[in-house]
Structure 1
Amino acid sequence: MLLQRALANGEAALTAEVMPPRGGDPSRALEAAGALRGWVHAVNVTDGSRAVMRMSSLALCRLLLDAGIEPVLQLACRDRNRIALQAEVLGAHALGLRNLLCLTGDPVRAGDQPGARPVNELEAVRLLQLVQQFNAGQDPVEGSLPDGPTALFAGAAADPQSPSWSGLKSRLARKKEAGARFVQTQMVSDAEALKRFVGELAGPLDLPVLAGVFLLKSARNAAFINRVVPGANIPQAVIDRLAAAADPAAEGEAIAAEQVASYLEIAQGVHLMAIKAEERIPAILQRAGLAPLKPAA
């Protein structure tokens, strides 16, 4: 798999994110992912992000694989008990998916159906432990998996700008011990926070980091992100820069490109998020001085 190979070889690893549709037609999401072909190693598919109804991440990941695009299945614990999570993980492996990002999931209160009942039997660390068991060929109930171990490449999420440094340190260590092989961060707006996170926490754990870069479209968009996205903390200086720009969309691209170039000097890779504007990611990467990926040998 391209992502695993890039991380293992110490290359600059690039991932981007697409959101499943709010409906049964995947064509828009497939088109968005297609625009990223040849520019990123893998494409994440979100799973109920912000607790909003979307098509199954598993279904869209399989469609991406059919289209020749390497997916990263995001799997959130919020809506499933352990039996459902076990089924989803094994089903993903059977469908040929290998990259898996293990998440706790945004709280239901953040979404548009606050009356929905969350499950939350497991959280990210225990989901990572479950994947680790499967990769070791272990059945959590009956000893050994009858058809042998799975071969899943599991990752975790983290927020380098978390207000609780001790909590971040403890949780990252637990994720590493539970089997995390890489970290994709939430959007990062402070390079110094990223540098400290990589140097003091992820680096000593030998966890490669893909730093989150979010494409902002306008000052209003940035303020909205700060208001509704858990953990978002876009500085006022960035919002003011977008507000003063003659072309806020172009300024947003410039900010994202600056972050890509800066973060690749600190972390092993970047993870780009450009909701409903994925086709602009190649331009951001070019502006950051990156070229299309070389075809695999």
Structure 2
Amino acid sequence: MPDRPSFPSFRSAIQSGEFLITAEVAPPKGANPTHMLRMAHLLRGRVHGVNITDGSRAVLRMSSLAASVILLQNGIEPICQVACRDRNSIGLQADLMGAQALGVRNILALTGDPVKAGDHPDARGVFELESVRLLELISKLNAGCDWTDKPLPDGETDLLAGAAVDPQCGSWSGLQRRFDRKLAAGAQFFQSQLVSDFDRLEKFMTQIVAGSNKPVLAGVFLLKSAKNAQFINRCVPGVQIPDSIIERLDRAADPLQEGMTIAAEQIRLARQLCQGVHLMAVKREDLIPQILDLAGISLSEKPAPFEMQTTTPRR
């Protein structure tokens, strides 16, 4: 059996009302998980769960389920992202039942990015379901039924389903409607897209989330330079990094260090508004512990030296 994570489980942390910390790590683009594990290992004891992306931006990478199992084998609690783009309802249910059997319990239900945004633009997207119906599907599996309401003779699942949310969505009524639908479909936690407007986040928390009794984790993104921030403004819909932050990065003698300081400031802001943060430091996940230190979030457990554990198939 795989080793269990030594950090308190994500589900238990939600139930106890802790300030939740998650971080995102991409699976390898190939069959060797060593780099992914090194990055995730640095987060052990600093986060409640490590999100493993599922074909983010429609770019080919290792299966999120397989990568999540590898993390679990190494004592790191995964949050397995599951996107609807590449699988129909049969395939999604098969993977979710497999996740249960393999010990992966945390699922982030996503619609998935459009195929043409990625590195296989001629591939065919499936999109039989989208994120709300995927949440409904998970609720049915947890209740012991499949998508067509037939009973599961070999046991129900016990998956903790979460959903994405974008507090900076242009349509306030649309944001309210989408949040309510995901809540009704069974979402137990919400991770937000990158947040740059914390006044907007406060309004979202007080006017939409209040009373739901479900934690929201604010998305905090490590900006590495003014150029990086400008790229996000051009290419990420719904996100507008303020000019004041871009100017700070542009003036800084060390833009990366300034970006870490900004991320730490945003974590402190989020602590006043919601129950957690979801950290994104693309290709610099190794800096997340330093960002948490800058934000005053102390180390709960010193990681042991990295030594990859894998399950070797019997011949």
Bucket of the pairwise TM-score, normalised by the shorter protein: over 0.9
Compute the displacement of 1:220 (Å).
1.1
- Quote the residue 1:108 is aligned against: 115
What letter matches 2:61 in structure 1?
Answer: R
What letter matches 1:184 in structure 2?
Answer: Q
Aligned counterparts of 2:118 and 2:244: Cα–Cα separation in 1: 28
Aligned counterparts of 1:135 and 1:233: Cα–Cα separation in 2: 38
Give TM-score scaled by structure 2 length.
Answer: 0.91
RMSD: 1.4
- Quote the residue 1:256 is aligned against: 263
Match of 1:278 among 267, 278, 285: 285
Aligned counterparts of 2:202 and 2:300: Cα–Cα separation in 1: 26
Match of 1:51 among 58, 81, 92: 58
Q: 1:230 to 1:110 in 2, by over 3 A?
A: farther
Q: 1:187 to 1:230 in 2, by over 3 A?
A: same
Match of 1:210 among 204, 208, 217: 217
- Quote the residue 1:82 is aligned against: 89
> Does residue 168 of structure 1 match 2:170?
no
Contact 2:137 2:146 in 1 (8 A): no
Contact 1:106 1:230 in 2 (8 A): no
Secondary structure at 2:257 match in 1 = helix
Q: 1:153 to 1:183 in 2, by over 3 A?
A: same
Aligned counterparts of 1:230 and 1:128: Cα–Cα separation in 2: 24
Contact 1:173 1:205 in 2 (8 A): no
1:48-83 superposed Cα distances (whole Å, 9 cap, x missing partner)? 111111111111100000000000000010111111
How much identity, in percent, do the aligned residues show?
57
User: Within 5 Å, which residues of 2 pair with 1:226-245?
Assistant: 226-245=233-252
Aligned counterparts of 1:79 and 1:232: Cα–Cα separation in 2: 26
User: Within 5 Å, which residues of 2 pair with 1:64-83?
Assistant: 64-83=71-90
Q: How many residues align?
A: 295
Compute the displacement of 1:201 (Å).
1.1
Secondary structure at 2:253 match in 1 = coil
- Quote the residue 2:150 is aligned against: 143
What letter matches 1:33 in structure 2?
Answer: A
Aligned counterparts of 2:252 and 2:293: Cα–Cα separation in 1: 21
- Quote the residue 1:24 is aligned against: 31
Compute the displacement of 1:230 (Å).
4.0
Give TM-score scaled by structure 1 length.
Answer: 0.96
Compute the displacement of 1:293 (Å).
2.8
Contact 1:110 1:228 in 2 (8 A): no
Compute the displacement of 1:112 (Å).
2.6
What letter matches 2:78 in structure 1?
Answer: P
Aligned counterparts of 1:190 and 1:277: Cα–Cα separation in 2: 23
Deviating above 6 A after TM superposition, structure 1's stretches of 4 or more consecutive aligned residues are: none
Contiguous gaps of at least 5 residues in structure 2: 1-7, 303-315
1:239-260 superposed Cα distances (whole Å, 9 cap, x missing partner)? 1211111100100000000000
What letter matches 2:54 in structure 1?
Answer: D
- Quote the residue 2:140 is aligned against: 133
Compute the displacement of 1:184 (Å).
0.2
What letter matches 2:97 in structure 1?
Answer: L
Secondary structure at 1:256 match in 2 = helix
Compute the displacement of 1:142 (Å).
6.0
> Does residue 96 of structure 1 match 2:103?
yes
- Quote the residue 1:178 is aligned against: 185
Match of 1:39 among 24, 38, 46: 46
Aligned counterparts of 2:93 and 2:237: Cα–Cα separation in 1: 27
> Does residue 267 of structure 1 match 2:279?
no
Compute the displacement of 1:145 (Å).
0.9
1:159-190 superposed Cα distances (whole Å, 9 cap, x missing partner)? 00000110110011010110000000001011
Contiguous gaps of at least 5 residues in structure 1: none
Q: 1:74 to 1:230 in 2, by over 3 A?
A: farther
What letter matches 1:225 in structure 2?
Answer: I
Aligned counterparts of 1:197 and 1:94: Cα–Cα separation in 2: 37
